[in-house]
Amino acid sequence: MNRGPAVIVLAAGQGSRYRQLAGADQDKLLAPCLGRDGVVRAVLEQVLINLPARLSRRLLVTTADRHEVARLGQAYGCQVLHVDSPGMGHSIAAGVGACVDAGGWLVMPGDMPFILSSTVERVLQGMGEGVISVPVLGTEYGHPVGFGQGYGAALLGLSGDRGARRLFTQGTVIQVPVADPGVLWDVDVPQALLFNG
């Protein structure tokens, strides 16, 4: 049976830059954010609402102490996976490990609330067994990134805070040109909650 891709939403990072400016008790994933549709939702909820419906297999990777983050993920159909390390590489490997039989993996950062659903769909369309599908704005690679099934072992081998970007030099990259500045816009600081792309 040919399974569809799974989406892995990365929500384990501690957001230390954001907390330095907004306060140690402020979780950027839960910060109110005006979406591109004009509706205010938490940053993570904006990400989840923009996932195409056909992405029915959803994993949210987070730490055990983030109960509200987990609740939001479950509300949008995500299986919640708890990790001990907030490192991006560790989170990706854990997510892939929880659904190794998926037909590829779409890696979506939980702090990028302004990516259009149509952009996610275009990245999905570029996915294939042995390719990496990545949106490109101008000359810059953005998110989310789709990895074909052939990259399973490499993704499982990731660790620490290093993401999967290094795999780009080892694989076949399909560039998906987009006009969506949301692919580069992450909420690292409170000022980034206001989108002006």
Judge whether 194 lies within some domain.
no
Angle ∠(40,194,63) on CA atoms, nearest 5: 70
> pTM value?
0.95
Can you give the pLDDT at residue 171?
Answer: 83
Can you give the pLDDT at residue 1?
Answer: 42
Judge whether 86 lies within some domain.
yes
Can you give the pLDDT at residue 7?
Answer: 98
Can you give the pLDDT at residue 193?
Answer: 95
Can you give the pLDDT at residue 160?
Answer: 83
Q: How far apart are CA 157 and CA 87, in angstroms?
A: 13
Assign residue 23 a region: left if phi > 0, alpha if psi is -120 to 50, beta otherwise?
left
Average pLDDT per consecutive 10 residues, the chain (197 residues; last block may be shorter): 85 92 94 96 98 94 96 97 89 96 96 97 94 96 96 92 82 94 96 90
Q: The domain that contains 37 carries what CATH number? A: 3.90.550.10
Specify the number of domains making up the chain.
Answer: 1
Give 133's strand partners: 146, 174
Judge whether 195 lies within some domain.
no
Can you give the pLDDT at residue 113?
Answer: 98
* Domain extent for 126: 6-189
Judge whether 13 lies within some domain.
yes
